């Protein structure tokens, strides 16, 4: 009986120490992974900037190079900072649960498409405010298509209401 108790204690202590050790390794690995994501983002934006430049689309080229500057400068994009690594001991378990929830809530995969439509509508509103009506119209048309709305005025209305709500916070 005493032998089983000792073996059980050794097993539990070994398991806990192993879990702690793996957590420490995971924290370090997540910082490296974050840097890899940042470098991939920078590379992708730079390539998109070059491609837009070659096509003569200087406006989009500007946007992509601006994103590169934001990613590499201070204060820059805060999500790329190591201090923003959101790791905790229970993160792997939480991630599994959150992944399950995400899969169940958007089975048709429409959320991402509608979200893109909303942001394109916001781009349209900004462009319109800047007096760039043709570009704004293009964004509104894309937004309406993504959101499956026939009326561009309805897209504008939805986007304006969303921005009003965001500004209340």
Q: What is the pLDDT of residues 126-136, one digit of tens each?
A: 888 889 899 88
Query: If DSSP codes are grouped into helix, strand and coil, which group holds residue 54?
Result: helix
Closest by Cα among 23, 24, 56, 61 to 45: 61
Which residues 6+ apart lie within 8 Å of 103 measured at CB?
Answer: none
Closest by Cα among 84, 85, 52, 83 to 66: 52
**Which pLDDT score, from 0 to 100, does residue 58 have?**
84
**Which pLDDT score, from 0 to 100, does residue 70 have?**
84
**Which pLDDT score, from 0 to 100, does residue 87 have?**
60
**Which residues in the chain show pLDDT less than 70?**
1, 27-29, 81-93, 95, 106-108, 169
Burial class (CB in 10 A: 0-12, 13-18, 19+), 136: buried
**Which pLDDT score, from 0 to 100, does residue 162 have?**
87
Sign of the Cα torsion 110, 116, 122, 128 reads: negative
- Contact assessment for residue 125 and residue 153, using Cβ atoms and an 8 Å cutoff: no
Tell me the C-alpha distance between 161 and 83, whole Å. Answer: 34
**E strand or H helix at 48:** helix 2-54
Q: What is the pLDDT of residues 49-72, one digit of tens each?
A: 899 889 988 888 888 888 888 888
Tell me the C-alpha distance between 83 and 79, whole Å. Answer: 9
């Amino acid at each position: 009986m005493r032998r089983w108790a000792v073996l059980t204690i050794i097993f539990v202590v070994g398991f806990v120490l192993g879990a702690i050790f793996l957590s420490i390794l995971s924290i370090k690995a997540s910082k490296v992974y974050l840097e890899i994501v940042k470098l991939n983002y920078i590379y992708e934006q730079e390539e998109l900037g070059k491609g837009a430049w070659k096509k003569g689309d200087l406006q989009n080229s500007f946007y992509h190079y601006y994103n590169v500057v934001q990613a590499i400068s201070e204060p820059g994009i805060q999500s790329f900072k190591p201090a923003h690594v959101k790791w905790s001991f229970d993160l792997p378990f939480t991630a599994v649960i959150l992944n399950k929830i995400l899969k169940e809530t958007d089975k048709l995969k429409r959320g991402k498409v509608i979200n893109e439509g909303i942001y394109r509508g916001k781009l349209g509103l900004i462009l319109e405010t800047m007096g760039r009506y043709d570009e704004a119209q293009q964004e509104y048309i894309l937004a309406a298509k993504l959101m499956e709305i026939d009326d561009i005025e309805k897209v504008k209305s939805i986007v304006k209401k969303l921005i009003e709500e965001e500004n209340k916070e």
